Structure 1
Amino acid sequence: MKVHEAARLLGVTPRALRFYEERGLVAPAKDAGSGYRQYETEDLETLRWIVALRELGLPIPFIADALAAREDDERFRQTMDRARAELYEQWVDLSRRLESLDRGMESWRGRTPAIGELEALAAPLKEKRSIRSAWSARLDFDDMAVKYREDAPLMTLSPPVDPHDYEEALTATADWIDARPGEAGLDLGSGTGNLAGRLAASGAAVTGVEQSPAMIRIMRSRFPELPVKQGNLLALPLPARTYRFAGSSFALQHLREDERMLALAEIDRVLLPGGRLALTDRLDGGAFSAMAEALRTQHYSVVTKPLRGGITLLYAVKPGP
């Protein structure tokens, strides 16, 4: 089958097929005499995959990985996890841009704004994008997961946390959240699911968010009924105003202060009005004071509670409708 016939069959342009060939996604044979591309059945099957994945928004590098992983369910799922996280990060960024543009246009009311107004509108967006782009995991969480399995989240903590204090902190976090049957909630930085399992025991519909593929794999094996999304706290791969509660245990210590502030903004984005938040970690008092103040600025009701081992629990309730 020649390029125009293949393009017509697939509902794309010949130029698109040539582009996919240039990017190494498909390699049709060429007629020895005419030099025309000849698309065989296998090429068309590959192109069906490419066209479908492209329509789902996957960038070319992710499509290449997905094609290579078609015969390996775990690899394919990991590729889709990574692609979804990247798409959500782009969506979060675009949503915030649109919100800022709408606010600006409302304030300008038909007049041309001064350049200073535009710069002031754009500056917070630039700062958030800079923080997100500079983020990287400060530990090899995949390696820790392989070595320590479900105990990996505890082993990532430095200085070490006593296992009894760790378990008590998880129990306190779950108790303060008080998840109810059927409620949609989150375990952020879920690791291998130690907090998620406690929250789900109440019958709540708990979703985990974790950046480490190896941690995700363990959580899925331990709690196959719980969905877990790959992503980080700076760009949660989740829709806005969806969840009744969010918990996070010992994830914030892996973030810088500016990253923690951005994480709080993301948590606020996904919580419903009246939503409950519990953050448990071992940070200095100034860090918890800064987070509490940031939440109070957004009219949250906030309390902090010291736990054993220098651990603190911050509990907050988002303003209601």
Structure 2
Amino acid sequence: MQIKELARRLQITPRAIRFYEEKGLITPKKADGSGYRQFTEADVWRLQTVITLREVGMSIEDIRHVLRQLDEGEGGLLHYLELQLSFVYDRWVELSKVIHTTEAMIERVKRDGESDPASLFELAEASKRLRQARSNWVDRWNFNQLAANYDQMVTEARDGFHPHERYEQVLDALVEKVAPQPGETGLDAGTGTGNLARRLRERGVTVCAFDQSPEMLKRCRQKNPGVEAKLGTFFAFPFLDSRFDFVATSYALHHLTDEQKVLALAECRRVLKPAGRLAIADFMFVDAGHRANHLEALRQSGRTDAIERIEYGYYADRSRLLAALKELGFQPEAEQLTTYVHLVFATLA
């Protein structure tokens, strides 16, 4: 078919088709003699893909990368759409923070007048610090490579150091604490290979999950057919507000700094329904004093390897975590399950 027919079929302009051709996204053949472009069904499919990806906000360069990967048989369209959705949620959450900061500034100006720019600067700086905390996270652990061996890794001690001791019992205790009820919808945040999601699903509830690692998600989906598992981060859960009766997370928050943990807790708050429940099982110390005493005991016994592993992760200060939850409107409680794992349970007031 020629360009006008293709334009009518896809409800776009010939000019748009020429633009995508100039960018190298489609390469129609020229008919012998006439010089007119001749488009095949393959060109139609390719152009439909381009239009679809543009509609969800993907850049021309990113679309070119997607098409190249598809041509080479690497990756898939689903993966790139999931990446784009994760990006959109990230921008949406970021924009909501900007809106909140701007509204706070407006309220201060209404209350105090325009004579105190220092207070507005303070709000702006706080917003900037949070934005930097969100953008500074990096995957130092390389979860895509860990995915294949993760389930074995959590059951084994290394050099006598085993922070995941009683792994299965910890997950069972978390599920018992959150007490899923038939008809509820729950979220497994930072699902990893889906071991917690499987336990929740066995309770007869609707389970959703997310993780930032595509390889971890692949294994989660294999274990949990029917679970809505999405690509996402702790700074922008890929779900809309007030969707879940409960959020559960295990062995994930210790990959976030203290400031980043607060951002993750705020996301838990955002996606929970009124009176929603939050359960966290992770590596923690009761407070800074307990942490210092434990590290000193390890040092005295020559366990520098254990100290290095603890300090490489971000084991939480439980007292600070509980205080942050109270600030967000939760009523929290906590108990220690193993040497390093604590269970925090909180309900929205």
What is the TM-score normalised by the length of structure 2?
Answer: 0.79
Partner Cα distance (1:106, 1:159) in 2: 56
Q: Which residue of structure 1 lines up, in the alignment, with residue 302 of structure 2?
A: none
Q: Secondary structure at the match of 1:69?
A: helix
Closer/same/farther in 2, CA of residues 159 and 36 from structure 1, 3 Å limit = farther
Q: Which residue of structure 1 lines up, in the alignment, with residue 306 of structure 2?
A: none
Q: Which runs of 5+ in 1 are unaligned?
A: none
Q: Say if 2:137 is the partner of 1:135.
A: yes
Count of residue pairs brought into register by the alignment? 318
Asked if the contact 2:165/2:338 (under 8 Å) is kept, the reply is: no
Q: Say if 2:23 is the partner of 1:23.
A: yes
Q: Secondary structure at the match of 1:294?
A: helix
Q: Secondary structure at the match of 1:282?
A: strand
Closer/same/farther in 2, CA of residues 2 and 266 from structure 1, 3 Å limit = same
Percent identity over paired residues: 34
Q: Say if 2:331 is the partner of 1:308.
A: no
Shift of 1:27: 1.9
Q: Which residue of structure 2 lines up, in the alignment, with residue 291 of structure 1?
A: 321
Closer/same/farther in 2, CA of residues 145 and 239 from structure 1, 3 Å limit = same
Q: Deviations over 1:271-293 (max 9, x none)?
A: 11211111111123331111100
Q: Which residue of structure 2 lines up, in the alignment, with residue 81 of structure 1?
A: 82
Q: Deviations over 1:78-101 (max 9, x none)?
A: 222212111111111122223333
Asked if the contact 1:243/1:271 (under 8 Å) is kept, the reply is: yes
Q: Which residue of structure 1 lines up, in the alignment, with residue 128 of structure 2?
A: 126
Closer/same/farther in 2, CA of residues 15 and 285 from structure 1, 3 Å limit = farther
What is the TM-score normalised by the length of structure 1?
Answer: 0.86
Partner Cα distance (1:166, 1:250) in 2: 10
Asked if the contact 2:170/2:281 (under 8 Å) is kept, the reply is: yes
Shift of 1:145: 1.2
Shift of 1:32: 7.8
Shift of 1:51: 1.1
Partner Cα distance (1:83, 1:42) in 2: 24
Q: Which residue of structure 2 lines up, in the alignment, with residue 281 of structure 1?
A: 282
Partner Cα distance (1:81, 1:154) in 2: 31
Closer/same/farther in 2, CA of residues 310 and 72 from structure 1, 3 Å limit = same
Q: Say if 2:97 is the partner of 1:96.
A: yes
RMSD, aligned α-carbons: 3.2
Deviates more, 1:265-274 or 1:24-33: 24-33
Deviates more, 1:150-159 or 1:188-197: 150-159
Asked if the contact 1:240/1:271 (under 8 Å) is kept, the reply is: yes
Deviates more, 1:68-77 or 1:238-247: 68-77
Partner Cα distance (2:221, 2:153) in 1: 15
Shift of 1:207: 0.8
Shift of 1:152: 5.5
Aligned residue identity for 1:271: L
Partner Cα distance (1:159, 1:19) in 2: 62
Larger radius of gyration: 2
Describe how 1:141-290 pairs up with structure 2 within 5 A. 141-146=143-148, 148=149, 150-151=151-152, 160-161=161-162, 165-286=166-287, 287-290=317-320
Asked if the contact 2:89/2:236 (under 8 Å) is kept, the reply is: yes
Q: Deviations over 1:263-315 (max 9, x none)?
A: 11111111112111111111233311111001112231111101123211111
Q: Deviations over 1:118-148 (max 9, x none)?
A: 54443333222222222111111111112x1
